[in-house]
Amino acid sequence: MASSSSLSELRERKEQLLAALGELRPFRPGSLVERYRKCGRPNCHCARDDSPGHGPSYSLTRAVEGKTRTKIIPAGAVETVQEQIDEYHRFRQVVRDLVETNVNLCDALLKGEDEQSDGAEGSEKGGFAQQ
């Protein structure tokens, strides 16, 4: 959103983004990987050079406190997990948009474009109006 938007447009956009956060389905970060492995038995079909190995098996990897964590995902849950990862990407985009909208809103408020910038509120030093 352009920084030249009006305060009312910025506030409306902020409300839309906050509502979008509440509409998100369950999500998770990470990468879903399809893997094939060789078991190591010399007489197994996977020992042939042209064999991809056993699989596919699926794992979800993600960083947790600086370490890579891996979780095995059952084949029947792959589609659901991929949807959760996609939803996480939507979450991240909404958050980026929300931050940018708030930066623009703060900039507009600093410029004194607020409807209440007539000096009536909080204009006294220390924030208290004298009686």
Question: What was the pLDDT predicted at 127?
Answer: 45
Determine contact, residues 89/8, Cβ cutoff 8 Å: no
26-56 pLDDT tens trace: 999 999 999 999 999 999 999 999 999 999 9
Of 75, 119, 98, the closest CA to residue 18 belongs to 98
Q: Is 0.95 surpassed by the pTM of this model? A: no
DSSP 24: P
